[in-house]
Amino acid sequence: MRHVVIASHAHFAQGIAQSVELLAGTPCDVRTLSCFVDGNNDVAVLAQRELDAIPDADEVVVCTDLLGGSVNNEFLQLVQRRPRVHLLTNMNLPLLLTLVLGLDDSEDLAPFLRELVSSDEVRPAYCNDALPGVDADEEF
């Protein structure tokens, strides 16, 4: 079984998880961890607790908000200690949607995650510049 943990500074994790649920429902197990709010200050302990709640044999994809931030730093240590944990950072909504919808499609997670983070779909886009490039009407 595969699990997703979404972790952030403040309530971003909880909020973006709600957005994922609104758009995609709940196709897999998604846990959230909102740090430095509601007394959640010891990120090392909390991160460990999240992973401890998941059986060792299961795969986990952890998504955090910011490379170099303390939330990601804590999980980065855990990735080095525990197998079958994959860590993505600089998360956004298209990334999480593609992740939860495609999580069970591939046998091997690593190539799926590599392709996911490098896809154009998950990059921020400047819509004004894209407007002139909108194609002519399509036909059947």
Partner 1 sequence: MIQLLRVDHRLLHGQVAVTWTSALRADCIFIVGDKVANDNVWRTTLKLGKPRGCKLVIKDMAHAIEAINSGVTDKYRMIICVQTLAEAKQLVDGCPQIRSINLGNTKETPTTREVTRQIFLEESDVEMLRELDARGIELEYRALADDSKVNVARLL
Q: Which residues are 4's β-sheet partners?
A: 30, 61
Least Cβ distance, residue 12 to partner 1 (angstroms): 18
Distance from C-alpha of 35 to C-alpha of 47, rounded to nearest angstrom: 10
Q: Which is nearer to partner 1, 19 or 41 (CB)?
A: 19
* Tokens 């090392």, located at residue: 44
Q: Say how many C-beta atoms besides its own lie within 10 A of residue 61's C-beta.
A: 24
* Contact residues for partner 1, defined by CB under 8 A: 22-25, 27, 97, 101-102, 121, 127, 130-131, 134-135, 137-140
Q: Which is nearer to partner 1, 44 or 93 (CB)?
A: 93
Least Cβ distance, residue 4 to partner 1 (angstroms): 16
Least Cβ distance, residue 130 to partner 1 (angstroms): 6
Q: Which is nearer to partner 1, 108 or 139 (CB)?
A: 139
Q: Which is nearer to partner 1, 108 or 138 (CB)?
A: 138
Which element (helix H / strand E) includes 134? none
Q: Which is nearer to partner 1, 33 or 91 (CB)?
A: 91
Is residue 72 within 8 Å of residue 87, measured between CB atoms?
yes
- For the chain, the residue count is 140
Least Cβ distance, residue 67 to partner 1 (angstroms): 25
* Tokens 């690593």, located at residue: 110
Least Cβ distance, residue 13 to partner 1 (angstroms): 19
Is residue 112 within 8 Å of residue 102, measured between CB atoms?
yes
